[in-house]
Amino acid sequence: MSKRSILLGNEAIARGIVEAGCEIATAYPGTPSSEILPAVAAYSDQLGTKTAVEWGANEKVAYEMAVSASFGGKRTCCIMKQVGLNVAADPFMSTAHFDLKGGFLLVVSDDPGPHSSQTEQDSRYFAMFAKVPCFDPSTAEEAKEMVFDAYDLSERHGIVTMLRPTGKVDHARQDVPLRDEVLPPKKDEFKKDPKRWVCLPAGVRVNHPRLNDKNDVIRNEFEKDYEKYNYIVPAKGTARLGIIAGGTTFAFLSDMIRTSGRDDIEILKIGTPVPLPVKLCEEFIARHEKVLVLEQTYPVIETQLNDRNKIMGRWNGFVPRAGELLPELIEEIIAKCLGDEVETSIDEDVLSAMEEMQITPRPPMLCPGCPHRASFFAIRKALPKAITPSDIGCYTLGIMQKGIDSAIDMGAAVTAASGFYLASKVDGEERPVVATIGDSTFFHSGLTGLASAVYNRHAFVLAILDNRITAMTGGQSSPNVGAKLRKGDQGVQIDLEQVCRGCGVSYIKTVEAYDVDENVDVVKDAWAYAWENKEPAVLIFKHPCITILKEPPTPRPVRMDPEVCIGCKYCITSFNCPGLVFDESSKKAYIDERYCVNCGVCMSVCPHGAIVLREEA
């Protein structure tokens, strides 16, 4: 181990995956895990391995591909974010019982905080639920190192192992050691053995007790042989407090002790929270009068302790039961434990300055020039009373445009549309429903919902917002685009119209998302058809995401005519482009050229015609 290089945590994990000899890696993109798979491809090319890398259409698909590929003895892995594991929960639970042959690593990134997720769930609980060992890294470097140990553990015990980084590990940027050599690949020697590879109920009677035995053995190993992840950092002086810490909270505690010179805290660092090395913890607890447990996000370590009498943590609410444990919060909690004063960082002057300057946090918004904004606008204008379920992706930000009435999880735009339709059908009333979903999300889990809706005769308009990319997670490809992860590795492009036709949809139209005026009529027409024929009508709003454009499109530079603008703010409230701002002093809207990309769409938006084409001099 000679070289060090600054890597993103996700790149460090990817590097570990390739160095550890993994030959099949699959994923579905999801923040904060998305950068891992592309980095696996890059390092594989760099280090000359033949590792197959694939985006599955969803996490269940990705998981089943990767785990099956390990049945013959190869090292494989599957990568996703925490909510992705909900989608892959089915195969995860089944294969947790299996006696695996090859090493199989499941990487699940959690998002405490959460910064870009619909839940704050803790995947370590899923590990506990499935009785699968879990590694919880504190830093990017440790995450990389854990990959090797996770594979080793998986192979020795024939068990799925989970690496569970949190966002601050995934998106840390840190100097990390690199190995030049790659562990040798293993041959695929799949042997037919239905008892082993078919999940019949009868197998469970054997598999479940065996899994329990494996857990006992692994717990024992974690107690004794994994000192590099489970260890004590003694206090420099007399310890007034013991802290059991896992994940990024440990990293912060180390920094705090180093910079503040704090000498009254002893730490037990736990890197393998499931199954918890309970004895190690109990010996530590016995030596301290007070013990604080700091972990992200649920009380997973804490609830595995047999005696929680002395414990302060998330379980008993001493540590907030939700949210990210940021450094300043941890410091406050420690002070509370020890009965010390907490210094406040609140500056009244700045607070009132913020009020006077009207400073509020800027929420995330659809980008200027984003085709989704135009689509939402046309839909709302066509059918202002429509119920508009939507989905998970950039377009969820359409909530700022009042373009979204519900969003549950991937694919639920379609099924929610069915639900809203059924609710109004029972009352016998016509209530338009227009669902919006992204192209990648549609393939992820919209398809089955559409088949179900056609079969059951549900009247709604499904608008597939086809921007040729999975944008929110950083621009991955999807089946309708056809491009694959490695350049030159071409997939088959699946045509959205044909897929919908195959599902039995008869009304399908593809439109240019920027053509707001025409699309208003198209949406009305689609709904009329859906209602009359009692079946879903599909509109594909097509326009590439502006973040993937290499060359900008022909600009349609706009200008605001202050003579015409009456200051009604309609453009701002219903279109919400960052390029449109309201000037409180003149009571007129203006174009903020810092953000405007000259897409020209807002010309269709102002009902008074105040936004006009700018004649270029």
Partner 1 sequence: MQFVIVGTGGQGILFASKALGHIAMEKGRSVVGSEVHGMAQRGGSVVSHFKVGEYLSPLVKVGEADVLLAFDQNEAVRNLHYLRDGGTLVVNLYDPKAFQNDRLQSSLDRRKIEVHPIEGYSILKEHMGGRFLFLNVLILGAMCGAGVGGVSVDEMNQAISDLAPPRFVEENLKVLKLGHEAAR
Residues forming the annotated binding site for [4Fe-4S] cluster? 565, 568, 571, 577, 596, 599, 602, 606
Pick the closer one to ligand SF4 by CB: 345 or 585: 585
Which of 190, 565, 576, 616 touches ligand SF4 by CB under 6 A? 565
- How far apart are alpha carbons 592 and 116 in whole angstroms? 27
Helix (H) or strand (E) holding 61: helix 59-69
Pick the closer one to partner 1 by CB: 98 or 377: 377
44 contacts 53 by C-beta, under 8 angstroms:
yes
384 contacts 406 by C-beta, under 8 angstroms:
no
Which of 329, 568, 581, 612 touches ligand SF4 by CB under 6 A? 568
473 contacts 31 by C-beta, under 8 angstroms:
yes
Which of 168, 558, 576, 604 touches ligand SF4 by CB under 6 A? 558
Q: Give the distance, in angstroms, between the CA of residue 416 and the centroid of all CA atoms in the same chain.
A: 21
Pick the closer one to partner 1 by CB: 29 or 91: 29
179-187, 261-269, 480-488, 575-583 -> range binding ligand SF4 (CB under 6 A): 575-583
406-414, 467-475, 583-591, 605-613 -> range binding partner 1 (CB under 8 A): 467-475
- How far apart are alpha carbons 563 and 578 in whole angstroms? 22
Which of 259, 306, 309, 554 touches partner 1 by CB under 8 A? 259
Q: Is 404 in the site for ligand SF4 (CB under 6 A)?
A: no
Which of 174, 207, 296, 297 touches partner 1 by CB under 8 A? 174
Determine the 3-state secondary structure of 589 from DSSP. Answer: strand
Which pair of tokens denotes residue 384? 């202002």
Pick the closer one to partner 1 by CB: 398 or 411: 398
Question: Which residue in 324, 282, 322 sits closest to 302, CA to CA?
Answer: 282
Question: Which residue in 129, 145, 128 sits closest to 137, CA to CA?
Answer: 145
Q: Is 611 in the site for ligand SF4 (CB under 6 A)?
A: yes
> HSE on the CB side for 402, CA within 13 Å?
12
- How far apart are alpha carbons 88 and 60 in whole angstroms? 4
Q: Is 40 in the site for partner 1 (CB under 8 A)?
A: no
Q: Is 474 in the site for partner 1 (CB under 8 A)?
A: yes
Pick the closer one to ligand SF4 by CB: 191 or 587: 587
Q: Is 597 in the site for partner 1 (CB under 8 A)?
A: no
* Least gap, CB of 170 to partner 1 (angstroms): 8
Q: Is 516 in the site for ligand SF4 (CB under 6 A)?
A: no
Q: Name the binder of 361 from ligand SF4, partner 1, none, CB < 5-8 A by kind.
A: partner 1
Pick the closer one to partner 1 by CB: 49 or 139: 139
Binding mask 346-385 for ligand SF4 (x = CB under 6 A): ----------------------xx----------------
* Least gap, CB of 389 to partner 1 (angstroms): 19
- What values do phi and psi take at 484, rounded to 5? -110, 180
Q: Please list, residue by residue across 215-253, b when 16 or more beta carbons sit within 10 angstroms of its beta carbon and e when fewer do.
A: beebbebbbeebeebbeebebeeebbbbbbbbbbbbbbb
- What values do phi and psi take at 507, rounded to 5? -100, 105
Strand duo 434-438 + 4-8: pairing: unpaired
- How far apart are alpha carbons 462 and 147 in whole angstroms? 42
Which pair of tokens denotes residue 228? 């590099």
Site for partner 1, residues 390 to 419, rule: CB under 8 A: 394, 397
Which of 62, 87, 379, 589 touches ligand SF4 by CB under 6 A? 589
264 contacts 240 by C-beta, under 8 angstroms:
yes
> Quick one: CA torsion of 603, 605, 611, 613, rounded to 10 degrees?
0
Q: Name the binder of 596 from ligand SF4, partner 1, none, CB < 5-8 A by kind.
A: ligand SF4
Question: Which residue in 328, 223, 202, 326 sits closest to 270, CA to CA?
Answer: 223
Beta bridge partners of 79: 27, 107
Pick the closer one to partner 1 by CB: 97 or 168: 168
> Quick one: CA torsion of 85, 89, 95, 97, rounded to 10 degrees?
120
- What values do phi and psi take at 288, rounded to 5? -120, 150
Pick the closer one to ligand SF4 by CB: 169 or 374: 374
Q: Is 342 in the site for partner 1 (CB under 8 A)?
A: no
In the complex, the residues that contact partner 1 under the rule CB under 8 A are 4-6, 8, 31-32, 34-35, 115-116, 138-140, 168, 171-175, 248, 250-252, 254-256, 258-259, 326-328, 331, 345-347, 349-350, 352-354, 356-357, 359, 361-368, 394, 397, 472-474, 578, 593-595
Residues that bind ligand SF4 (CB under 6 A): 368-369, 558, 565-571, 577, 579-580, 589, 591, 596-602, 606, 608, 610-611
